[in-house]
Amino acid sequence: MIIIFGNKVRYKTLATGQFYCSQCKTQRDYELRQARNWFALYFIPIIPLNQLGEFVTCLTCGMNFQKDVLSAPIPSNTPLDRLAREARTDLESGTPIEMARQKLINTGLSRDLVEQVITQAVGSDRKRCPNDHLTYRATIQRCAQCGAWLENLPRT
Same domain, 54 and 83: no
**Average pLDDT by consecutive 10-residue portion of the chain (156 residues)?**
85 91 84 92 86 92 91 76 84 91 89 88 88 91 90 74
Whole-angstrom Cα distance, residue 63 to residue 57? 6
How is residue 67 annotated by DSSP?
A: G
DSSP-derived pairing of the beta strands 135-137 and 26-41? unpaired
CA–CA separation, 58 vs 71, rounded Å? 15
Residues 61 and 103 in one domain: no
Last residue of a domain, one of 16, 43, 71: 71
Cα 103 to Cα 84: distance, rounded to the nearest angstrom? 11
Statement to judge: residues 62 and 88 lie in one domain: no
Q: Are residues 22 and 61 in the same domain?
A: yes
Same domain, 64 and 83: no
| Order of strands across the sheet that contains 5-21 | 5-21, 26-41, 44-58, 64-65
Name the domain count of the chain.
2
- The pLDDT value recorded for residue 27 is 83
- Residue 44 is predicted with a pLDDT of 86
Nearest to 16 by CA among 2, 29, 25, 34: 29
Mapped onto helix, strand or coil, the DSSP state of residue 87 is helix
Are residues 101 and 48 part of one domain? no
Q: What per-residue confidence (pLDDT) applies to 95?
A: 92
Query: Which contiguous run of DSSP H or E holds residue 93?
Result: none
Q: Where in the sequence is the domain holding 148, given as residue range(s)?
A: 79-152
* Residue 77: predicted pLDDT: 67
What amino acid occupies position 64?
Answer: N
Separation of alpha carbons 128 and 148, rounded Å: 10
- Please check whether residues 91 and 60 belong to one and the same domain: no
